[in-house]
């Protein structure tokens, strides 16, 4: 939820944040959003939805608010029991409690990454500079020239918002990025159209060269990225696209200028890598992402992390624990939404805690982690990323706990549902059709998902589009000039 002042150790957002995943793709799998909610949701409404979920399932009584975890350590008999001692602080008082298992759910948007060493001369800069975590609203930048460093979701959002009040906004990018609109073909949410089992199957089935060509073609479908200075350096890489509906119009209007990476800061100006200089710069906002950290872990070696890359089996379990009683939830970033991903991670982790999902040997887990790193390099161009393919990852976890929908079986027993599951959007309800945690309303939710998608935009009853000419007549009128041309030529 939005707060005026960031709190240490907690995520913080700016006032105008909206979701990048639509409501049907990001809901809890057994709790659809109300049908009149907009498809992309403001943070205040998302906060209300989460509270409604907690109240619906009577979870609030299990939550200790305004309580900070200060220490997590193994019990002396951990090798036998797998138990943890958790120390918390509330109202200035500390207390310890013993737990059979622990889930670390701090996410990866808490600790700002501000790599000032990569920006020579920043200490000489006389203007103000801050991390995007500390940005809240644009008014203080009215009439100023502002540089935003980082072409990610936050960087684009902030640049667009600043462009309404600043005299000029410069948006610096080191590598470029694919930029997509939330609104995709025919006005539908992008993720309802692109995140499907069919497209994932096709992507994995085709030769990589063909798959890369299709990927680049789809990303350039609405406009050519190179014409706007946005084209990624590694064009075929599947790094997370930027979701922004307004950046192109802001660039077209000249109020946002795309610039290359910063080479050097000066007292009142900045030198870019292409040799251009921008004078009279007033402020810099570093939208340079976040690092993950676990300061409450007494033994830091339990969750091994190097170069912002954690060593976790299935992106969840520390592989070298004597007892698999700790899970890290949410330290993964996929093309899909965080809520259903975390939901499946938790379900898988609980089965591991219960001993109902057996882990392989330490060596096998480490080999699997290394294989995943190699796969990341193949698809994303780097291994030190939290990214993973959404449907592939969800299938992997739900297969292990018996919750993956069997499309072939559905084709025989419920063919209409099978078609919706395979060709339609991979909404979270699919992972509650079967197995532990099965939800009786999942099938209905899948069949009505497009109704909930269209309702909030159809706020005015409008007549359907009609053609004034029969389609065959139109086709004939188009073919006549072609036939005449062929007659002349041949």
Contact 189, 337 (CB under 8 A): no
Question: What pLDDT does 96 receive?
Answer: 96
Question: What pLDDT does 1 receive?
Answer: 46
State whether 126 and 103 are in the same domain.
no
Report how many domains make up the chain: 2
Question: What pLDDT does 2 receive?
Answer: 47
Q: Which of 351, 385, 402 is the last residue of a domain?
A: 402
pLDDT per residue as tens digits for the range 145-172: 999 999 999 999 999 999 999 999 999 9
Contact 31, 53 (CB under 8 A): yes
Question: What pLDDT does 471 receive?
Answer: 59
Is residue 416 included in any domain, yes or no? no
For the chain, list residues with pLDDT below 50.
Answer: 1-2, 383
State whether 133 and 87 are in the same domain.
no
Question: What pLDDT does 482 receive?
Answer: 63
State whether 257 and 336 are in the same domain.
no
Question: What pLDDT does 100 receive?
Answer: 97
Q: Which of 368, 402, 436 is the last residue of a domain?
A: 402
Is residue 236 included in any domain, yes or no? yes
Per the structure, the complete domain to which residue 327 belongs is given by: 23-109+293-402
Q: Which residue has the tokens 């700016």?
A: 14
Q: Which of 370, 385, 402 is the last residue of a domain?
A: 402
State whether 118 and 258 are in the same domain.
yes
Task: Compute the chain's Rg from CA coordinates.
Answer: 25
Is residue 453 included in any domain, yes or no? no
State whether 255 and 301 are in the same domain.
no
First to last CA, the chain: 70
Is residue 77 included in any domain, yes or no? yes
Question: What pLDDT does 408 receive?
Answer: 95
Report how far residue 300's alpha carbon sits from residue 323's, in angstroms, rounded to the nearest whole number: 17
pLDDT per residue as tens digits for the range 318-330: 999 999 999 999 9
Share of the chain above pLDDT 70, in %: 91
Contacts of 238 (CB under 8 A, 6+ apart): 215, 335, 379, 380, 387, 389
Report how far residue 125's alpha carbon sits from residue 28's, in angstroms, rounded to the nearest whole number: 46
- pLDDT averaged over every residue in the chain: 90
Q: Which residue has the tokens 């009505």?
A: 448
State whether 361 and 303 are in the same domain.
yes
State whether 270 and 369 are in the same domain.
no
The distance between the two most distant Cα atoms of the chain, rounded to a whole number of Å, is: 93
State whether 151 and 263 are in the same domain.
yes
Contacts of 384 (CB under 8 A, 6+ apart): 307, 308, 309
Question: What pLDDT does 74 receive?
Answer: 97
- Specify the CATH number for the domain of residue 274: 3.50.50.60
HSE (side-chain half, CA atoms, 13 Å) at 84: 25
State whether 170 and 307 are in the same domain.
no
State whether 346 and 375 are in the same domain.
yes
Nearest C-alpha neighbor of 376 from the set 394, 390, 392, 388: 388
Is residue 484 included in any domain, yes or no? no
């Amino acid at each position: 939820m939005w707060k005026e002042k960031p709190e240490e150790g907690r995520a913080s957002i700016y006032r105008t944040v909206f979701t990048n995943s639509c409501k049907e793709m990001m809901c809890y799998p057994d709790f659809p959003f109300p049908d009149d909610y907009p498809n992309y949701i403001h943070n205040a409404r998302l906060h209300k939805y989460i509270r409604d979920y907690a109240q619906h399932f009577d979870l609030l009584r299990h939550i200790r608010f305004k309580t900070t975890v200060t220490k997590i350590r193994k019990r002396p008999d951990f090798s036998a029991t797998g138990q943890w001692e958790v120390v918390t602080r509330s109202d200035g008082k500390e207390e310890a409690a013993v737990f059979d298992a622990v889930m670390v759910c701090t996410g990866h948007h808490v600790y700002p990454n501000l790599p000032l060493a990569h920006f020579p001369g920043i200490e000489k800069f006389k203007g103000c500079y801050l991390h995007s975590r500390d940005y809240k609203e644009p008014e203080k930048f009215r009439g100023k020239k502002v540089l935003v460093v980082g072409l990610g979701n936050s960087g684009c959002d902030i640049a667009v918002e600043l462009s309404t009040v600043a005299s000029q906004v410069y948006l610096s990018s080191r590598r470029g990025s694919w930029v997509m609109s939330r609104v995709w073909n025919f006005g539908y949410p992008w993720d309802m159209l692109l995140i499907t089992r069919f497209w994932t199957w096709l992507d994995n089935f085709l030769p990589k060269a063909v798959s890369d060509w299709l990927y680049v073609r789809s990303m350039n479908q609405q406009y050519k990225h190179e014409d706007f200075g946005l084209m990624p350096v590694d064009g075929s890489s599947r790094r997370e696209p930027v979701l922004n509906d307004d950046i192109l119009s802001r660039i077209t209007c000249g109020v946002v200028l795309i610039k290359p990476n910063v080479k050097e800061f000066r007292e009142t100006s900045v030198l870019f890598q292409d040799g251009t200089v921008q004078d009279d710069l007033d402020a810099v906002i570093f939208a340079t992402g976040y690092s993950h950290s676990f300061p409450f872990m007494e033994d830091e070696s339990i969750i091994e992390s190097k170069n912002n890359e954690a060593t976790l089996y299935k992106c969840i379990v520390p592989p070298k624990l004597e007892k698999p009683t700790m899970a890290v939830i949410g330290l993964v970033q996929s093309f899909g939404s965080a809520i259903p991903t975390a939901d499946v991670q938790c379900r898988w982790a609980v089965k591991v805690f219960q001993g109902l999902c057996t882990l392989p040997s330490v060596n096998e887990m480490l080999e699997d982690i290394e294989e995943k790193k190699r796969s990341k390099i193949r698809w994303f161009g780097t291994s030190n990323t939290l990214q993973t393919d959404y449907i592939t990852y969800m299938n992997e976890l739900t297969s292990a706990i018996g919750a993956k929908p069997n499309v072939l079986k559905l084709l025989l027993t419920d063919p209409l549902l099978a078609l919706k599951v395979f060709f339609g959007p991979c909404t979270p309800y699919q992972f509650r059709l079967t197995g532990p945690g099965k939800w009786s309303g999942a099938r209905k939710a899948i069949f009505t998902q497009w109704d909930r998608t269209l309702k909030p935009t159809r706020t005015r009853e409008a007549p359907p589009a009609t053609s004034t000419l029969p389609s065959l007549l139109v086709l004939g009128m188009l073919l006549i000039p072609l036939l005449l041309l062929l007659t002349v030529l041949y």
